[in-house]
A and B are shown apart, each in its own frame.
Chain A
Amino acid sequence: MRAVVAIVRGMVLELFRRKDFYVFLIFMLVLLGILSSQTFFHIEGISRYMRDFGYTLVMLFSFILAVTFTAKQVPSEIEARTIYPLLAKPISRFTFIFSKFFGGVAISVISFVLFFASFILFCLGEGQKLSPVLVAQSFFLGMLFFCMVCSMVVFFSVFMTMSANIAVSFLLYFYVINFSGPLRDAVISAKGFVAAMLGTFYYLLPHFDFFDMRIRITHAWDPLAGWVVAAITVYTAVYCLLLLYLAAMIFRRKKL
């Protein structure tokens, strides 16, 4: 545990010392500021498009930071040869992989918390009413989302280059968010062998769509039922553990 915390601490320090994080934060605040200054035909109280943009920016920027930061962890340790003095210490390869995962989660969550807080404060400052339950759910699911993302990226990082990892992660995210609905319909209506194939594919995909609260936040729909949030939490835990276990097994056999 100490080793994990130590490595995570180093990764968090790096997040705050790189300029990327501040660039995204400032960019987001500037964009929100520009959006809020827009007026349309002297109509007061237009709020949904700002919430839409704001939430999208929060998730997008946090996602970019999570993927780019986490994807480079394992390859850059190997390339810089810092993996050798690290693995020469009393730390197993399993611990190394889990440390990189927790580090990725830490930097994602820190970024997400700051971006999300900025977004909420901005909305409240504009006089928008937000359901506390919906906000809390969005925040919680956001954190689960980044656990999923980081586990997936760490898994890819043990056998892909950094650029391939980033490209595949973005493509997967884009696909799942936009096409999981039609895929689900196809799975339900398929029969026989095709149903089995599609079903397997459906189960293997990381279901980022479960965590997407953009429409609910933007258009003030009802929050998710408690059991749905609990089920998503369990799904996230199982999926992350499986991916991390696979990543550790692959990394254990990797010749360094």
Chain B
Amino acid sequence: MYYYDSPAGQLESEVPFYMQFLGEGRSILSNLSILQADRYFHGGIGHIDEDHPGGITIDGESQEEEGRIHEEEHPEKIHRAPGRFNILLRISEKTEITRHIHLSGNQVKEIIPWIYYSAKIDPHNVLAYTLAGYWLADRLDKVDEAIAFVKEGLKNNPDSWELNAELGRLYFKHRKDYKAAARVLTRALQLLQGEPHDKFQERYVLSFLAYSYEDIGEKAKVLPLYQRLGQLFPEDGGIKRKIRKLQEE
């Protein structure tokens, strides 16, 4: 997921009146709110992700045990030890918290207010809604709330492929409503292919759409999707095998 800059010319009537006076500053505040959510995820400590230096990541795959502290060096923080008698530097070192932790289990709820505020400050910050969708549904088991919030985001950003894709993912993964997922993901794909994008983004949408069609039973629609995936990732053996299997059927 990457930062999404709010488009200029957003409809002022969609923004609460007490926020309108901030003008373009809303998008800055909204992004800062997301940064704060990231800090909260890391126990209050600012974190720079080397893979996404301009943004934050969703730790979607790690399933840490609740309460386990994952300690590792911050590669961006190169600490030489201060001299033994340099008392102020030593005090400073001891007062600063540098351990790297992630919130786990139910603790992740603590980041929710910041994501919520981010969306409220700037309803065109698509990242806020997609993050909310993931954290609410996948980590906090609040699927209905996640879907409602992403739908609210879609009302404010109807042409956002990210929000359509996230809604499709929620329908697919949590509601098992493959028809709804297919409908929404088809729209996501149309929107995505109508704007500059990278192949990983397209793979994400194509994959979920293909799975949805498979689960509905509309196998005729699955092969073209995998063929498109094959064009994007010609070296991917898994995709090649899938295409062969579908062609044989």
B145 touches which one: A42, A46, A214 (CB < 8 A)? A42
Q: Identify which of residues 74-128 in chain B touch chain A, using a CB-to-CB cut-off of 8 Å.
A: 77-82, 87-89, 91-97, 106, 109-110, 112-114, 116
Q: Nearest Cβ in chain A — how far from B27, in angstroms?
A: 21
Q: Do residues A209 and B109 form an inter-chain contact, with CB atoms below 8 A? A: no
Q: Do residues A187 and B149 form an inter-chain contact, with CB atoms below 8 A? A: no
Q: In the complex, what residues of A have CB within 8 A of residue B149's CB? A: 41
Q: Do residues B91 and A228 form an inter-chain contact, with CB atoms below 8 A? A: yes
Q: Do residues A43 and B40 form an inter-chain contact, with CB atoms below 8 A? A: no
Q: In the complex, what residues of A have CB within 8 A of residue B95's CB? A: 209-210, 212, 224, 228, 232
Q: Do residues A40 and B113 form an inter-chain contact, with CB atoms below 8 A? A: yes
Q: Identify which of residues 41-99 in chain A touch chain B, using a CB-to-CB cut-off of 8 Å.
A: 41-43, 45-49
A218 touches which one: B44, B92, B94, B145 (CB < 8 A)? B44
B43 within 8 A of A: yes
Q: Do residues A210 and B91 form an inter-chain contact, with CB atoms below 8 A? A: yes
Q: Do residues A219 and B80 form an inter-chain contact, with CB atoms below 8 A? A: no
Tell whether A188 pairs with B142 under 8 Å between CB atoms, given A41-B112, A209-B92: no
Q: Do residues B112 and A48 form an inter-chain contact, with CB atoms below 8 A? A: no
Tell whether A202 pairs with B88 under 8 Å between CB atoms, given A181-B96, A210-B95: yes
A207 within 8 A of B: yes
B165 within 8 A of A: no
A80 to B135, CA, bound (A): 60
Tell whether A228 pairs with B109 under 8 Å between CB atoms, given A42-B145, A188-B89, A221-B43: no
B192 within 8 A of A: no
B48 within 8 A of A: no
A231 within 8 A of B: yes
Interface size on A, residues (CB 8 A): 35
Q: Nearest Cβ in chain B — how far from A204, in angstroms?
A: 10
Q: Do residues A43 and B140 form an inter-chain contact, with CB atoms below 8 A? A: yes
Q: Do residues B92 and A235 form an inter-chain contact, with CB atoms below 8 A? A: no
Q: Do residues A188 and B80 form an inter-chain contact, with CB atoms below 8 A? A: yes
B35 within 8 A of A: no
Binary contact readout B36-54 vs A (1 if CB under 8 angstroms, 0 otherwise): 0000100111000000000
Q: In the complex, what residues of B have CB within 8 A of residue A37's CB? A: none
Looking across the interface, which residue of chain B has its beta carbon closest to that of A42? Answer: B145
Looking across the interface, which residue of chain A has its beta carbon closest to that of B98? Answer: A181
Q: In the complex, what residues of B have CB within 8 A of residue A42's CB? A: 142, 145
Q: In the complex, what residues of A have CB within 8 A of residue B96's CB? A: 181, 209
A215 within 8 A of B: yes
A207 touches which one: B81, B92, B109 (CB < 8 A)? B92
A202 to B80, CA, bound (A): 17
Q: In the complex, what residues of B have CB within 8 A of residue A41's CB? A: 112, 116, 136, 140, 142, 145-146, 149
Q: Do residues B97 and A203 form an inter-chain contact, with CB atoms below 8 A? A: no
Secondary structure call for the A interface: helix
Tell whether A221 pairs with B44 under 8 Å between CB atoms, given A41-B149, A228-B91: yes
Tell whether A221 pairs with B97 under 8 Å between CB atoms, given A46-B109, A188-B89: yes
Q: In the complex, what residues of B have CB within 8 A of residue A225's CB? A: 94
Q: Do residues A188 and B82 form an inter-chain contact, with CB atoms below 8 A? A: yes
Q: Do residues A215 and B97 form an inter-chain contact, with CB atoms below 8 A? A: yes
Q: Identify which of residues 180-238 in chain A touch chain B, using a CB-to-CB cut-off of 8 Å.
A: 180-181, 184-185, 187-189, 202-203, 207, 209-210, 212, 214-216, 218-219, 221, 224-225, 228, 231-232, 235
Tell whether A43 pairs with B43 under 8 Å between CB atoms, given A49-B114, A224-B95, A228-B91: no
Q: Nearest Cβ in chain A — how far from B33, in angstroms?
A: 11
Looking across the interface, which residue of chain A has its beta carbon closest to that of B83? Answer: A188
A46 touches which one: B44, B87, B112 (CB < 8 A)? B112
A254 to B145, CA, bound (A): 67
Tell whether A43 pairs with B44 under 8 Å between CB atoms, given A209-B92, A209-B95: no
Q: Do residues B109 and A232 form an inter-chain contact, with CB atoms below 8 A? A: no
A203 to B45, CA, bound (A): 25
Q: Identify which of residues 10-52 in chain A touch chain B, using a CB-to-CB cut-off of 8 Å.
A: 38, 40-43, 45-49
Q: Identify which of residues 127-143 in chain B touch chain A, using a CB-to-CB cut-off of 8 Å.
A: 136, 140, 142
Can you list 9 A-B contacts with CB-CB less than 8 angstroms, sorted by A residue number?
A: A42-B142, A43-B112, A48-B40, A48-B110, A185-B77, A215-B45, A221-B43, A231-B87, A235-B88
Q: 6 smallest A-B Cβ distances: which pairs?
A: A215-B44, A41-B145, A219-B44, A48-B110, A49-B113, A228-B94
A49-B110, A181-B92, A188-B80 known, 5 other contacts, Cβ within 8 Å: A41-B112, A42-B145, A46-B109, A185-B78, A189-B78
